[in-house]
Chains A and B, each alone.
Chain A
Amino acid sequence: MPISKGFPTLISSVSKFSGIVAGTVFVAAALAAPQASARVELVNEVHKVDRYVDDKGRVQRRLVEPNQVVPGDELRYSVRFTNTGDNNVDAGSVVITNPIPGNTEYLEGTAAGDAANILYSIDAGAQFGTPVSLRVEEDGSEAPANASDYTTIRWVYAPSLAPGATGTVSFNVRLK
């Protein structure tokens, strides 16, 4: 099959802004896009988890644009990947790796991903494991790692990705 059809590309989060608007900007930047033809497209988005009280007096959560983010706010990152090519992506080959952003801490139990095995690293991505396998040394003795120890999250997507198929992974953090 022609390799030229198999190059990945990426789509960054779509910014509605050009420059500073209303004091806060939602910016997005592509890491690199050396290939010309799409195979797996990647959309990385961030939203603020807004808490509000509904008309029945219950506290609800909703995702809003991250236009008013201050320390203590909860944010959700979601990464959507789509096979825009003509051929299957190999089963088990999709690996998504996301370092916890600086100035934030991962919120335990929030990493999600359909059909994905979720692993964590506590050493900046050198090694990954399940939560129960991660141990830290504390005062000379071992202890289970906390969510705040996590430096990186990795999703290993199990199925093959057929042309047109999409998967999504997400996780939440709190801005320190």
Chain B
Amino acid sequence: MKRPKYERGYAQRSASLLPGLCHSSIDVMNSSEFRRLWPVGRALFAGRVLVTFLFSLMAWSEAYAAGTGAGVVVPNSVTLEYSQSGLTRTTGATASFFVDELLDVSIVSSDASSIGVLAGETAAVQQYTLTNLGNGSEAFRLTVNDAVAGDDFDSSLNALYLETNGTVGLQVGPGGDDLYVAGTNDPILLSDDFLTVYVTADIPAGLMVDDVALLSLRAIGTTILAGAGTDDPALPAFPAVGTSFPALGDPASTGGGNVAAMVGISYDIATPLYLAQHDFLVNDVGLAITKTAFFVEDPLGGNAVLPGSVVSYRVSVNLVGGGAAQSLVVTDPLPVDVLYVPNSLSVVGLPAGEEADDDLVPAGVDNTGINGETVEVTFGDVTGPLSLTIEYQAIVQ
């Protein structure tokens, strides 16, 4: 039996937003926008993991009592004792019935709060828990609706994954969780068993901060598909609660054959438990910064790093998402063994007043230049999506 899994891949998400900065650091001063993103963001993630755990635990205990198994025979044996002229006699009889398969399901979002995304993000992850609330073994057909009405935009389904590799969170690729293909690997769950399902979706560009996209995941027992010919609750053929499909249930415990399968209340289209939805929320802004030494010219005309070689550095700052970052300053202390090449600084994306020269004059107006052996570039208030580039050269000592 599968054990509950309460995981979510926050570590991956954090890592993707905090790339290694080499010698660069990024400083956003007086930025209410950006400060909101990090410390609060971390606390939010930590809280979400805890809440998710409690939520799943409740679902588990509720699901524990799916009841007597499908195909079980329940006998009732009565005995009757009587006497006649003082002589005692006993008789007895048994009446039995088979337990039919009850088709019931639960699918719930395992994410307690909105999934923060950035415009243009690919493969944003939502996590769901699929539970077989029926009393038999059942395969489930999973369907995603990425065009739920009533929201600000639509995400685009990327892929569905089943938690199969036993490692917390979604892992993609060799040794990772299984990609779900409808009709090929519909997950089979025993009664009361449950499974973590991951939905990944792509977020379009050009969104406003706080825009919301709803996505829903549906899980329908394949017995319903076999008995009614559809797993789409919007179609008239979708069965009503109480519909019984003869011989489509689990095998009977005795006598061969299969018991009937009955549609349970979780498939009531008015109060569906076979469907859950969750939202993607567009975050303010995300910053990605990378630094590369993109060209080296040594004194001999080659490309080796030698004393006297000139190294060309490029710092790329990307704002993703549609939000604003206020008072964005990039500071890049040079490595200890190199010296800045005067007048080599060039910057794409400087605001008015800032100059890509070496000095910091006039003070308070031009805050971009070389301060000791540190490159300082002030971009001020910027709105994403935006790409900013800083390039300069240094001589290896």
Q: A-side interface residues toward B, CB under 8 Å?
A: 1, 3, 6-13, 19-20, 22-32, 35, 39-46, 66-72, 75, 77, 79, 81, 85, 87-90, 93-99, 101-104, 161, 175-176
Cβ-defined contact, A28 with B96, below 8 A: yes
List the 7 closest A-B pairs by CB distance, nearest first.
Answer: A71-B67, A20-B257, A23-B260, A44-B93, A70-B102, A66-B97, A31-B92
Query: For the complex, would chain B's binding face be called helix, strand, loop or mixed by DSSP majority?
Result: strand
Provide the residues of chain A in CB contact with B79, threshold 8 Å: 31, 96-98
Given contacts A26-B96, A71-B68, A97-B79, contact A19 B259 (CB under 8 A): no
Select which of A7, A12, A90 is within 8 A of B94 by beta carbon. Answer: A12
A32 and B86 alpha carbons, distance in the complex (Å): 22
Beyond A28-B96, A40-B80, A88-B84: 10 further Cβ-contacts under 8 Å? A19-B257, A20-B255, A23-B246, A24-B98, A27-B73, A32-B92, A93-B81, A98-B78, A98-B79, A175-B99
Q: What is the CB-to-nearest-CB distance from B224 to chain A, in angstroms, rounded to a whole number?
A: 15
Given contacts A10-B91, A96-B79, contact A71 B97 (CB under 8 A): no
B218-267 at interface with A (beta carbon < 8 Å): 244-249, 252, 255-262, 264
Q: What is the CB-to-nearest-CB distance from A40 to chain B, in angstroms, rounded to a whole number?
A: 6
Provide the residues of chain B in CB contact with A32, threshold 8 Å: 92
Q: What is the CB-to-nearest-CB distance from A59 to chain B, in angstroms, rounded to a whole number?
A: 14
Which size class do B's interface residues fall under? 35 or more
Select which of B86, B91, B96 is within 8 A of A40 by beta carbon. Answer: B91
Provide the residues of chain A in CB contact with B83, threshold 8 Å: 89-90, 93
B82, B100, B247, B264, most chain A CB atoms within 10 A = B82
Given contacts A68-B100, A68-B260, A103-B72, contact A42 B91 (CB under 8 A): yes
Provide the residues of chain B in CB contact with A30, threshold 8 Å: 93-94
Provide the residues of chain A in CB contact with B244, threshold 8 Å: 23, 68
Cβ-defined contact, B82 with A70, below 8 A: no
Provide the residues of chain A in CB contact with B102, threshold 8 Å: 70-72
Provide the residues of chain A in CB contact with B73, threshold 8 Å: 27
